Amino acid sequence: MKNRIKEIRKTVGLNQIEFGAKIGVKGNTIGNYEVGLRNPSDAVIFSICREFNVNEEWLRTGNGEMFIHMDREDELSAWAGSILNPNNDNEFMKKFVHMLSKLKEDDWKVLEKMALLMSEENKEG
């Protein structure tokens, strides 16, 4: 499991301290997991799987895919939950999403048109 924890951490682009903070343990604890000095508790395994959408079977045994496939609605739900997480201190993100929640239907149509124009411009050049 030690190599799989490190693989997850590297894949999500976090150092040991950042990874540990996301799941509620210290960075040196992650280091101990990665070198095999300690084994994570079931609660830590659950936190890793929940926080990073990891397949628990893969984490425990290496069988299957690393990540659980999510459709668009699942991804949006997970993202919205991360914004509302009390540990999320990104005020810009919260303000920006709050502003988006205030948009009317016509505002969304304007944004859609702008996105399409940008996409066309990127294809051209």
Q: What is the pLDDT of residue 43?
A: 96
Q: What is the pLDDT of residue 75?
A: 87
Q: What is the pLDDT of residues 2-58, one digit of tens each?
A: 999 999 999 999 999 999 999 999 999 999 999 999 999 999 999 999 999 999 999
Domain boundaries, the chain: 2-61, 72-124
pTM (predicted TM-score): 0.65
Distance CA 48, CA 23 (A): 6
- 3-state helix, strand and coil shares in percent for the chain, rounded to the nearest 5: 70, 0, 30
Q: How far is CA 73 from CA 76, 79, 80, 87, 114, in A?
A: 5, 10, 10, 23, 23
Distance CA 90, CA 84 (A): 10
* Summary mean pLDDT of the chain: 94
Q: Would you mind telling me the total number of residues written for the chain in this entry? A: 125
Distance CA 5, CA 47 (A): 12
- Mean pLDDT value across residues 63-90: 89
Q: What is the pLDDT of residues 81-107, one digit of tens each?
A: 888 888 788 999 999 999 999 999 999
Q: What is the pLDDT of residue 88?
A: 83
User: In CATH terms, is domain 2-61 a member of 2.60.40.2470?
Assistant: no
Angle at 107 between CA 106 and CA 109, to 5 degrees: 65
- Mean pLDDT value across residues 66-76: 92
Put residue 39 in one of left, alpha, beta given phi > 0 → left and psi -120 to 50 → alpha: beta
Distance CA 120, CA 125 (A): 9
Amino acid (one-letter) located at 54? V
- Mean pLDDT value across residues 65-93: 89
